[in-house]
Structure 1
Amino acid sequence: MTQTVICIKWGTRYGSEYVNRMNRAIKRFNKRPTRLICFTDDVSGIDEDVITRDIPPVNLPDYKHSPPFRKVTLWQYPLGDLEGDVLYLDLDIVICGDLDRFFDYEKGEYCVAENWTQIGKNIGNTSCYRFPVGRYKHIFDDFNADPAKIEQKYGISQKYISDAVGKMVYWPADWVVSFKHTLLPPWPLNFFKTSKPGPNTSVVAFTGKPDPDEAMVGEWPVEGEHWKKIYKFTKSCPWIEDYWLDN
């Protein structure tokens, strides 16, 4: 049976190379047949063996946080021909191990990484989650009916999803890790050391900045409050090139 991984790409922040690298990493690491479906507003440059679909419509509020809420559209049902458990991955992640076990773990449940900055607060980080298509269609339906109300209450989509889902199952902590909150050495050691994923890690999430291509060469863009450069720093991380760039 073919497993399904999905992602979403809109706008210009992440180009087609992010989709293609994800697709090639899935093929490199997974032993079972796995397809990647990319929901996008621009198919140019995406490899032919990636299945592309139009982003399903969603009623977005005109607030500063609304673009991330676009991901809520993937909770609607029907969602094309998708059924059963589907694994979602953000584009700004690095795959460094197999994803097959993500389809075996707690089948039929909503599985997600526990948000690294809110441990114990029942909030999942939606960089990497698996969900049974259709079971939680109320997440989309309720948001689409009154997006401004939900955006104002929750601010970001993963807080809303965590509250609306109710029961969550967290991935084992070493399966999905954060570059900034798990791997990056604490200040001031980050100026002198780097850390790479452990042998049991399959996904490294790059939330906010830096993106994988930036961390790879030791760049951490900081906008506005430049004093943050005092602690927002990473040395170059060659391991990203090993996992992320095409071999």
Structure 2
Amino acid sequence: MKWGTKYGPEYVNRLYGMVRRHLTGDFQLLCLTDDTNGIRPEVMCRPIPQLDLHLKPGQRDGAWKKLTTFEADLYGLQGTALFLDLDVVIVGSLDDFFTQPGEFLIIHDYPRFWRFGERIVGNSSVYRFTLGAHADVLAYFRGHMAEVQREYRNEQEYLSHALHKQGKLSYWPAKWCPSFKYHSIPPWPTNYWKAPSIPQEARIVIFHGEVNPPDALAGKRNKRFAHIKPALWVADAWKSE
């Protein structure tokens, strides 16, 4: 999905190139977007389904729009869908993402030392589902928007808890989708002389928080008193051809 101006068409084009290199067989890449300019012709572009978010003045819409991937009829498409955030970097085979057992699979959100108890929330940078299978999750959100937004911080928290209650939530193997921020950047103080690396057994490196792929390649963090050396492997992986 691409909306607004944060990500240009090059993100879509590079995502297509990475999928093509790392997925066996035919596929169709669908981009739900409000701007098709500059997107390569191999990508199917369609408008983002209407959500009518109830936002307060100045409130960001976050990623609640991702829930529209669960439309009962998403432009007549059928079959298995693998959702990928625009800013991921694919470094290994995607084939197993389509064969891993489970009704709905998502990244098990990365642990934080201040969290206690069972960790249910998934990170929605990568999730797999059957098109049309979870329309009830979207329908409930549309009918109880204010209530859901009060109870849950973002779309991935709501989505994870809703499918967990239905017994449908599963997680990818932990090493498949590592975090660049937590798993690629060497620990302090070695980050001053060691460059970020590709974690072992990684398939898709997730860029969330203060670093995106161009920043990683340039050795730049949007965080005070933090330092990384350029992650030169991003240039080899994050490309459209």
TM-score by structure 1 length?
0.88
Specify which of 87, 91, 98 is matched with residue 96 of structure 1.
91
Specify which of 228, 233, 243 is matched with residue 227 of structure 2.
233
Note the C-alpha offset of 1:170: 1.1
| Per-residue CA distance 1:23-79 (angstroms, 9 max, x = gap) | 011111222112211000000000001111111111212153523111111112111
Task: Give the letter for the 2:172 counterpart.
Answer: W
Alignment partners' CA distance in 1, 2:48 and 2:228? 34
Task: Give the letter for the 2:72 counterpart.
Answer: Y
Partner residue of 2:73?
Answer: 78
Task: Give the letter for the 1:90 counterpart.
Answer: D
Report the number of matched residues: 232
Partner residue of 2:38?
Answer: 45
| Per-residue CA distance 1:202-246 (angstroms, 9 max, x = gap) | 100101221111111111124xxxxxx12x332110011110024
Are residues 246 and 85 of structure 1, via their aligned partners in 2, closer, same or farther at CA, if it must alter by over 3 Å?
Answer: closer
Equivalent runs, 1:153-172 vs 2, <5 Å: 153-166=151-164, 167-172=168-173
Partner residue of 1:113?
Answer: 107
1:32–1:100: 8 Å Cα contact kept in structure 2? no
Are residues 12 and 243 of structure 1, via their aligned partners in 2, closer, same or farther at CA, if it must alter by over 3 Å?
Answer: same
Partner residue of 1:130?
Answer: 128
Gap runs ≥5 in structure 1: 1-7, 223-228
Alignment partners' CA distance in 1, 2:228 and 2:67? 32
Task: Give the letter for the 1:27 counterpart.
Answer: R
| Per-residue CA distance 1:125-151 (angstroms, 9 max, x = gap) | 100010122221121111112322211
1:111–1:168: 8 Å Cα contact kept in structure 2? yes
Alignment partners' CA distance in 2, 1:221 and 1:197? 20
Greater fraction of residues in strand: 1
Task: Give the letter for the 1:54 counterpart.
Answer: P
Note the C-alpha offset of 1:155: 1.3
Is 1:196 matched with 2:197?
yes
Task: Give the letter for the 1:156 counterpart.
Answer: N
Equivalent runs, 1:179-194 vs 2, <5 Å: 179-194=180-195
- 4+ runs deviating over 4 angstroms: none
1:215–1:237: 8 Å Cα contact kept in structure 2? yes
Note the C-alpha offset of 1:180: 0.7
Gap runs ≥5 in structure 2: none
Task: Give the letter for the 1:220 counterpart.
Answer: R
Note the C-alpha offset of 1:184: 1.6
Note the C-alpha offset of 1:87: 0.2
Note the C-alpha offset of 1:199: 5.2
2:196–2:230: 8 Å Cα contact kept in structure 1? no
Higher relative contact order (CA 8 A, sep 6+): 2
1:115–1:124: 8 Å Cα contact kept in structure 2? yes
Task: Give the letter for the 2:89 counterpart.
Answer: V
Is 1:243 matched with 2:241?
no
Moved more, 211-220 or 146-155: 146-155
| Per-residue CA distance 1:170-221 (angstroms, 9 max, x = gap) | 1111111110112222233222222322453210010122111111111112
1:65–1:156: 8 Å Cα contact kept in structure 2? no
Specify which of 4, 15, 26 is matched with residue 19 of structure 2.
26
TM-score by structure 2 length?
0.90
1:43–1:52: 8 Å Cα contact kept in structure 2? yes
1:76–1:139: 8 Å Cα contact kept in structure 2? no
